Structure 1
Amino acid sequence: MLIISDAHANIHPLKYVIQREKFDKIVFCGDAVDYGPNPGETLDLLKENADVMVSGNHDYAAAYSVDCRCGEENHELSVFTRENITLKKLGKNDISFLRSLPNRMDMEIDGMKFQVMHGSPRDELYGYMYPWSVQDHLRSMLGSPLDPANYVVGHTHYQFLIRYAGNLVINPGSIGQPRDNPMPSYAVYDSSRNSVEFPRFDYDRSKLKEDIRSIISDQEILSGLYRLFSL
């Protein structure tokens, strides 16, 4: 099973991984759009290939014209690109598709049950679950432990695997805009061994830079996007 998250309209590494990896199923943990220059093409590629796909906070923001509630450091870039790229390039069918995405999906692989969401069990769209905060997120709002489950999440752009109370918590990191390492990341789950691998790779970023420059002329916005995409 190929696990991907946070493409953010950067189609180039997403296309590379789908063409390169062998897989029987693709799970996408949200945030197909915003920041990047190719939201429509990214959505099309995911619709063609993903077996399981949930909404991310940026997908939800674009679908319903609400704030993405992302970190303050990147909030201005998020709003700018949503208004000037995402919503201008997506058609009505794209918006309808984003609105159809669930915030969580349950799935089973060879008897192993998983809950797939963008954020965390306590906050499916907006919860930032890092390795050091897993325990807090796997408790109910009243403080009692949630029922044991295997979780597949995204949102942080931070790749990790935690085994908690006998279950897996998998975050593949970000395929389109990693923040823990400049190289894009994803995860591969092998159900026969109940194991997870975290490949990383690099790609030619010149086309992404060209795509962004063809849309954005504001130098301050360009500088911010270059930083986010490690250009």
Structure 2
Amino acid sequence: MDVQGKLSDGAPGSSGSGAVAVLSDIHGVLPALEAVLEEPDVRAARRVVLTGDLLAGPLPRQTFDRLRALGDRAVWISGNADRELTAGRPDAAGDAVSAWAAGQLRLREKDFLRSLPAAVTREVAGLGPVLFCHATPRDDEEMVLVDSRPERWAEVLEGVPDAVRTVVCGHTHVPYVRFTHGRLVVNPGSVGMPYGRPGAHWALLGPDGGAVTLRHTPFDYDAACDRIARESDFPAAAEWADTYVRARHSAEEALAAFGPGDGRTARTAE
């Protein structure tokens, strides 16, 4: 994969001024997405960057339509779940809602997902060129966490152009900002499947001095769960919403589950 992606922001010669909102891991949770899109800073943002895993959830088509309504403001990036939705139905035993969602998407939606890049580089005021990806710049499933060891970060950032001093990723659903190997790494967390606390997590980049701000948008969780149960045809929609909209999994549980994926288990065993 070409980790350099595309370096532009709008029309040729654009200075890339204005804030950039980053939304990741929406997972077809339309009420959470709608709450974030109503935030004044998101409404005013020059760009809305979508860093993958957007539709694999209980309201996939409705979420797609809402995101497409953003028009040219939206910068779409593919995540592993988006890729899997277009490759045939995922294993129902491993991820029932994704397997179901794959069957709901129309051909035009799948074709659109197939066209998405794995990484995009955009100029952000105060930050310079920023590389946006889903998991890491080189892989859409690779695990890196806030407490991953420096050697692991060196591995996953290898090949990123020297001019890129900020990398924005997603995938693990836990927000953080970390400075490592001379680069700022930002994970906005998950809009639709947060770990640790309910509410939609996202990030705002620039324009004031290159500020990076992790944001949290609360909304009516009871109403969201009721809406998902009512509007989704996924057989377990009510149970799914109760688990993920209400964030019943802690951030500590997520880190424990994802930790072995960054190689720390193998390192401990040496």
Q: TM-score range by the shorter chain?
A: 0.7 to 0.9
Aligned to 2:62: 41
Is 1:106 aligned with 2:121?
yes
Aligned to 2:27: 8
Displacement of 1:146 in angstroms is 5.4
Equivalent residues, number: 218
For structure 2, the residue ranges without an aligned partner over 5 or more in a row are: 1-19, 248-270
Q: SS state of the match for residue 178, structure 2?
A: strand
Superposition RMSD on alpha carbons, in Å? 2.6
Aligned to 2:49: 27
Q: SS state of the match for residue 54, structure 2?
A: coil
Aligned to 1:168: 184
Is 1:90 aligned with 2:109?
no
Closer, same or farther in 2 for the Cα pair 1:146/1:216, shift >3 Å? closer
Structure 1 stretches of 4+ with a deviation exceeding 6 A read none
Q: Is the 8 A contact 1:121 1:137 kept in 2?
A: no
C-alpha distance in 2, partners of 1:81/1:183?
20
C-alpha distance in 1, partners of 2:168/2:177?
10
Closer, same or farther in 2 for the Cα pair 1:136/1:67, shift >3 Å? farther
Aligned to 1:57: 80
C-alpha distance in 2, partners of 1:169/1:47?
27
Equivalent of residue 202 in structure 1, options 210, 218, 222: 218
Closer, same or farther in 2 for the Cα pair 1:96/1:187, shift >3 Å? same
Q: SS state of the match for residue 102, structure 1?
A: coil
Q: Is the 8 A contact 2:225 2:241 kept in 1?
A: no
Aligned to 2:133: 117
C-alpha distance in 1, partners of 2:115/2:48?
18
Closer, same or farther in 2 for the Cα pair 1:146/1:24, shift >3 Å? closer
C-alpha distance in 2, partners of 1:45/1:224?
21
| AA in 1 matched with 2:225 | K
Comparing 91-100 and 40-49, the one that deviates more: 40-49
**TM-score, normalised on structure 1?**
0.82
Residues 65-109 of structure 1 deviation map (CA, whole Å, 9 limit, x = unaligned): 2658xxxxxx8462x11232x123211111111111111112112
Is 1:185 aligned with 2:201?
yes
C-alpha distance in 2, partners of 1:63/1:186?
25
For structure 1, the residue ranges without an aligned partner over 5 or more in a row are: 69-74
Residues 144-188 of structure 1 deviation map (CA, whole Å, 9 limit, x = unaligned): 785543211000001011122332211100011111322221111
C-alpha distance in 2, partners of 1:216/1:192?
43
| AA in 2 matched with 1:230 | R
% identical equivalent positions:
23
Is 1:135 aligned with 2:150?
yes
Aligned to 1:229: 245
C-alpha distance in 1, partners of 2:29/2:47?
21
Q: SS state of the match for residue 179, structure 2?
A: strand
C-alpha distance in 1, partners of 2:241/2:199?
16
Is 1:17 aligned with 2:36?
yes
C-alpha distance in 1, partners of 2:32/2:201?
9
C-alpha distance in 2, partners of 1:38/1:119?
23
Is 1:159 aligned with 2:175?
yes
**TM-score, normalised on structure 2?**
0.71
C-alpha distance in 2, partners of 1:144/1:60?
23
| AA in 2 matched with 1:23 | A
C-alpha distance in 2, partners of 1:136/1:66?
36
Greater Cα radius of gyration, structure 1 or 2: 2
